[in-house]
Structure 1
Amino acid sequence: MTFDLYKIVFDGELVPGMAADVVKDNLIRLFNSDTRKIERLFGHGPVNIKRDLSGPEADKYLQALHRAGAKARKEPEQVITLALLDNAPERSTDTQAAADQMSCPKCGHGQTVNNQCERCGIVIEKYLARQAQNTQAINERIHDVAAQPYAPPRAQVGEPTPEYGELKAFTIQGRIGRLRYLAWSMTLMAAALGLLIIASMGFAISPVLGSILAGLLGIGVLLVSVQISIQRLHDIGWTGWFMLLNLVPVVGTVFPLALLLVPGNKGVNRFGPPQPPNSRAVKILAALWLLMPVIGVLVAIAIPGYQQYVDRAAL
């Protein structure tokens, strides 16, 4: 009898586009483990995460790991064939030593042919028989369901909702949290500053060219800013039409604070799944954005004092 068993192997490789910190956080939640144990999975060569799985079970483990960002793979376990020595044909002495070796189907321990594993202690014949019974029971259950014409459909309805949404800055779809909203706004302002320098060079060449460049810059920055703000509103659970409140007197001056202070929904809302965990770069950029008002106040205080010092020195 042949038993198709598989194991899940992880080499520390990540799914393209996923950051290591994000993947480790996902694995901590997936395995309900701690950081120290998850760190052992990286940088130590191939690691067997799960063994003795049927084909469907192994596929489920792979899907869960791939969604978390870990690029694992499925490998077949070694097939063990047991034979009674009385019925076995005679073998040459050259192959006798190799044929007398076996691996435990449960823990993979290598040993001489024996009906019991020296490491985990299982009775191999009983273990293989139990695996066969489980496989047969699953097949019978599937057959019984298929034979019932009035049985409810067991196929999954619709696509499964991913754990985290995709991050796209140039769209009004998706969700971003407060820190990522600040980080993206900081990046947008830095890019606008660089483009403003180019527009000023256009003014030096021709006032018309400079005006065109400045107009295109203003429209682009406004469009991207609106897209980022709508994604932040989606995270709170509000529609993007709330952006029109910025045009209302008094309310428009207070409304931006809501984007910075109101926390987002936990879990999936009507606009999709939540954003991925914040990376270190997002936290740094958000902190720099929060420091900008403080730096502006210090500069506003320092410049008049410096000007007075220059005026006194000139006298």
Structure 2
Amino acid sequence: MDNQTPTDNFNNQYYNSSPNNATQIEQDEYDPIPPIFSFSFRGRWGRLSYINALVTAMGISFAVMCVLGIVLALTIGLNSINLDNPSDLSQNFLSGTGIVFLIVIFALFILYMIWAIRFSVLRLHDLGWSGWWVLLLTFGAFIPFVGFLASIASLIIYYCLPGTPEENPYGRPVPAGSKLGLIILCVLMALYAILIALIIFGVGLAAFNNTGY
């Protein structure tokens, strides 16, 4: 027999509808979003989390390229000052500092490739697909007459297809990521489109002027 008073019923309803309880329910239904700065291939990434990771990787890559460019310019400048014969600059660079510089670039490239492959694998996990599909989608882009279709398929799979709403072999669904990466990506794409339009306009204007009309 139910001996609960109206007050008890009200308290239970309040507890069940409270924000803390809703948060607990959400935590029970979802797995945490895997961190960006990791080399673990476990877990799932939704579309927004995938885009956030790509934008972060683009920003870090740009910063690293700037730093390496500055270091390279300073190294070449110092070597040219210390050399009596500037024609020996390339030979001296490749026999000394240049070797270390190339090794660092190669190591960073390998780490970046592993990191980028992880992005795609986690996104495929969200669809319930094996991470090995990334090999087909990646190398398929280099196959003649098939590469274009493989590239289109990759864009649709990584950016458009929603993940499975229920638990799959790679874990439970994860919460939706921040939309900041999507906004930044859209801005970059818009700037890129404007740049291409300006280049086409400039080339067309130059060709028009050369015709003499």
Counterpart Cα distance in 1 of 2:134 and 2:187: 25
Q: Answer whether contact 2:48 2:176 (CA < 8 A) is retained.
A: no
With normalisation by structure 2, the TM-score equals 0.64
> Normalising to structure 1: TM-score of the pair?
0.45
- Alpha-carbon displacement from aligned partner over 1:134-156 (angstroms, at most 9, x marks no partner): xxxxxxxxxxxxxxxxxxxxxxx
Per-residue CA distance 1:6-26 (angstroms, 9 max, x = gap):
xxxxxxxxxxxxxxxxxxxxx
Q: 1:68 to 1:179 in 2, by over 3 A?
A: closer
Q: What is the aligned partner in structure 2 of residue 238 from structure 1?
A: 129
Aligned to 2:52: 183
Residue 67 of structure 1 deviates from its aligned partner by: 6.4
Aligned residues: 160
1:260 & 1:306 partners in 2: Cα distance?
33
Q: Where does structure 1 lack aligned partners over 5 or more consecutive residues?
A: 1-29, 42-60, 70-161
Q: Which has the higher contact order (CA 8 A, sep 6+)?
A: 2
Aligned partners of 2:152 and 2:46: how far apart in 1? Answer: 19
Alignment of structure 1 residues 1-315 onto 2, 5 Å: 31=16, 38=19, 68=26, 162-166=28-32, 167-169=34-36, 170=38, 171-204=40-73, 205=75, 206-245=97-136, 246-248=138-140, 249=143, 250=146, 251-257=149-155, 258-278=157-177, 282-303=178-199, 305=201
| 2:46/2:162 contact within 8 Å kept | yes
Within 2, Cα distance between the matches of 1:203 and 1:301?
Answer: 33
Cα distance in 1 for partners of 2:26, 2:160 equals 29
Q: How far is the alpha carbon of 1:304 from its aligned partner?
A: 5.8
Q: CA deviation at 1:200?
A: 1.6
Q: Is the 8 A contact 1:200 1:210 kept in 2?
A: no
Alignment deviations for residues 94-153 of structure 1 (CA, whole Å, 9 cap, x no partner): xxxxxxxxxxxxxxxxxxxxxxxxxxxxxxxxxxxxxxxxxxxxxxxxxxxxxxxxxxxx
Cα pair distance change 1:182/1:203, threshold 3 Å: same
What SS class does the counterpart of residue 240 from structure 1 fall into? Answer: coil
| 1:276 Cα offset (Å) | 1.9
User: Considering only aligned residues, what root-mean-square deviation do their CA atoms show, in Å?
Assistant: 3.0
Distance 2:163 2:122 in 1: 11
CA distance in 2, matches of 1:201, 1:238: 42
Aligned counterparts of 2:150 and 2:134: Cα–Cα separation in 1:
9
1:68 shift after superposition: 5.0
Distance 1:242 1:294, change over 3 A: same
Is contact 1:177-1:263 (8 Å) kept? yes
CA distance in 1, matches of 2:117, 2:68: 22
**Larger fraction in strand:** 1
Larger Cα-atom Rg: 1
Q: Tell me by how many angstroms 1:284 deviates.
A: 1.6
Separation (CA, whole Å) in 1 of partners of 2:200 and 2:150: 32
| 1:219 to 1:288, Cα distance in 2 relative to 1, 3 A | same
Cα distance change on mapping 1:173 and 1:283 into 2, 3 Å:
same
Q: Deviations over 1:253-272 (max 9, x none)?
A: 23321111111000211110
